Structure 1
Amino acid sequence: MEAVNNGEMHLRHVETDVLIPKLMREKAKEICIDKVQAFNLCCKETGFLMVVKCREENAALKDCLTQHYRDPAFYEICKQEYIQEKTEFERTGIPAKNRKQKLPTSM
């Protein structure tokens, strides 16, 4: 495990500036799912004119996502989730995506 400062795990630059923000984007898309779906539906229905016709849906989606990206409390929640996943990986050696997959019921 990496050095601990003030009771908190030290995170590398790539973790704080790339990996945690990536997790934030994924979680924000889940939270803003209604706006993601509205934008996707608009794009599918309008085809090439989506740049013009889907401005309202795109703006609503951007507003929702940006609200979460700029929220320090949301960053902290995602950071703690990242730290938990990292700690579990260091303990087990199994990546989170593999741990979350269901095991077959019969072999």
Structure 2
Amino acid sequence: MKLPEQHVSRKVEEALLYRLKQKALEECKERAQAYADCCSGRVFSAVWSCREEFKDLNVCLSQHTTPQVLNELKRRWMEAGQPETPKWDALLKNL
């Protein structure tokens, strides 16, 4: 039985997704900082006071972690020969 071209083990997929999320946080660091600054010194009021900053951060993060982006990362990982310790900079470049 032949597996689909994009099939990777769950463990590998979790590792790829983890790296993808790290890259997304780096790409959205200004929005994350704006949200953190807004929440600074607040407890319960952060929920409504920082709603816009939170929304902006989530929009940015979700743009960088779509299923299409994850599938592209899987494809690149498979083309790289499915290395145990991949060169993340090369795999994540221009995603």
2:21 to 20, 25, 34: 25
Partner Cα distance (1:30, 1:41) in 2: 17
Distance change >3 Å, CA 44–CA 77, structure 1 → 2: same
Greater RCO structure (CA 8 Å; 6+ sep): 2
Partner of 1:14: helix, strand, or coil?
helix
Distance change >3 Å, CA 78–CA 45, structure 1 → 2: farther
C-alpha deviations, 1:44-90, integer Å up to 9, x for none?
04343101100000000000001111162x32247646x86x73649
Matched, 1:15 2:12: yes
Matched, 1:61 2:57: yes
**TM-score, structure 1 as length reference:** 0.59
Larger Rg, first or second structure (1 or 2)? 1
Aligned length: 83
Higher share of residues assigned helix: 1
Structure 2 unmatched runs, 5+: 89-95
Structure 1 unmatched runs, 5+: 91-95, 97-107
Partner of 1:11: helix, strand, or coil?
coil
Distance change >3 Å, CA 39–CA 78, structure 1 → 2: farther
C-alpha deviations, 1:13-72, integer Å up to 9, x for none?
2212x2211111110000011101000100104343101100000000000001111162
Q: CA RMSD in A?
A: 3.3
User: Identity of paired residues, percent?
Assistant: 29
